[in-house]
Chains A and B, each alone.
Chain A
Amino acid sequence: MTRPVTVETIAERMKEFGTVEQVRKNRIRIRTVPDKIHDAITTAQAMLGFDRLITISTVDNGETLELLYHLIGSHRIIISLSLDLPRDKPVTPTVSDLLPPAGIYERQIHDLFGITFEGNPNMKKIILNEGWPENEYPLRKDWKPNAGVFYGGIKVERM
C-alpha cells in the first residue's frame, strides 16, 4: 500500500459491496448481502490491511436475523459488515476458510440462532447441552422454554 489507509479510503473501496455508513470515528458499517461477504472480506484483507476478526455478532431483528462481522487492522479502524438473513431460511456461506477464528463463532451462532453456515466443515451441535432438542434456538426473540419439553440435565421424580 502506498498511501495510508483512512476511513475515507476504506469507505471508497468498500462501496461496491453495499451501503457504507460511518457510525463512529473509527467504525464503518457496511450493509451487504450474503453473496458478496466472501469477496468483501477478501478485499478488506488483501487491499486494506484488515488482519483480524474481532467477533461475529448476531441480532434478531424480528423479520430478519442480522449478522455483523467486525474486522480490525493495524490502522485500528473497524469495519462491520452486516448481513440480513430471512428468518425462515437463514443460510449464509461460511467465512472460516478466510478467517479461522470464525469457525468458533459460527458454531455458537448456529446453536443459539439456528443460522446455517454453508461450507463450515464441522457444524454439528455441541454448544448447548447434549439433550437439547432440535430446532430450539434460545436466543431468538420469540423463543420461550416450553413446559412440555425436556431440555436436558437430570430427570426428577415428581412428588
Chain B
Amino acid sequence: MGVPDTGMSQRLVNWARAKSPWITVYNSGACNACDIEIIACLMPRFDVERFGILVKGSPRHADILIVTGHVTLKQASRLRRVWEQMPEPKYVIAMGACGASGGVFHGLYHMVESVDCVVPVDVYVAGCPPRPDEIINAVVTCLNLLEEDAAHGGKEWRQKKPATGVDAEGKSCTVVS
C-alpha cells in the first residue's frame, strides 16, 4: 500500500468499482425510518440501479456498507463481524443523526456511543431520516473518495490516525483494525 497500483487490470477493477458500487445495508438498531428510505431509493421514483448501484444481501459481495442508525450493545459485535467479512477496499456510510452521534437516543443505556466506535466511518449523512436524494449523494461522495483513494493507493493519505470516537464513559477510544 502507499504506492498506487497502476497496472492495467487494477485500473480496470478501480473503474468498474467506481461505476457500479455494490452496497449492503446493515440495520444496527435503527428505528426503520432509514431502512425504508433506502428501499425507497431502489424504487421507480429514485431508482438507483440506473446508476449501477446495486444493493446486495451479503457483505462479502459489497464495496460499501451503509449502517443505519446507532449501534445497540447487542449489534456491536455483529456489525463488526459484518464489516470484517467485506473485501478490501471497503467503505462505510453512517446514516442519519443517529449514525453520527446517537441522535435522540444519545446516552441511552443499551447503546454504543456512535458507529465509529465499532467500525471506521468514511461518510456521514445528516438528517432524520435522510431523504433518498441525500442518500444517493452520500454514495456519490463515497465514490469520489474511492477514486481518490485508488489514486493514492490506499486510505492512509487521509487518515492520519485510526478512526476515533468516544465510548460510553466519555473517554476517547480507538478502533484497532
Direct contact of A and B (CB under 8 A): yes
A interface residues with partner B (beta carbon < 8 Å): 128-132, 138, 145, 147, 151-154, 156-159
The verdict on B151 contacting chain A, using a C-beta distance below 8 Å, is no
Asked whether, in the complex, the Cβ of B172 is within 8 Å of the Cβ of A131, the reply is no
The reply to whether A129 and B112 form a contact with Cβ atoms under 8 Å apart is no
What are the residues of chain A within 8 A of B168 when measuring CB–CB?
Answer: 145, 151
Q: Which of A147, A153, A158 makes the CB contact (< 8 A) with B77?
A: A153
Using Cβ atoms and an 8 Å threshold, which residues of chain A touch B173? 156-159
Interface-lining segment among B15-23, B32-40, B46-54, B68-76 = B68-76
Task: Check if A130 sits within 8 Å of B74, measured CB to CB.
Answer: yes
Number of CB contacts from chain A to chain B under 8 A? 49
Q: Which one, B76, B171, B175, contacts A153 given CB within 8 A?
A: B76
B84 to A: closest C-beta gap in Å: 12
**Beyond A152-B73, A154-B77, is A128–B169 a contact (Cβ under 8 Å)?**
no
CB distance from A68 to the nearest CB of B (A): 24
| Contact (Cβ within 8 A) B109 A151 | yes
Q: Are B73's CB and A156's CB within 8 A?
A: no
- Chain B residues within CB distance 8 Å of chain A: 71-74, 76-77, 80, 109-110, 112, 117-118, 164, 167-169, 171-176
Extra A-B contacts (7), CB below 8 Å, given A129-B73, A153-B73: A129-B110, A147-B169, A151-B109, A153-B76, A154-B77, A154-B112, A159-B173
Across the interface, do A138 and B109 meet the contact criterion of CB distance under 8 Å? yes
CB distance from A33 to the nearest CB of B (A): 32
CA distance A60 to B77 in the complex (A): 32
Q: Are B174 and A156 in contact (CB under 8 A)?
A: yes
A41 CA / B36 CA spacing, docked (Å): 41
Q: Bound state CA distance, A153 and B80, in angstroms?
A: 10
Query: Interface centre among A138, A152, A153, A154, by most B CB within 10 Å?
Result: A153
A129 to B172, CA, bound (A): 23
| Inter-subunit contact B72/A129 (CB<8 Å) | yes
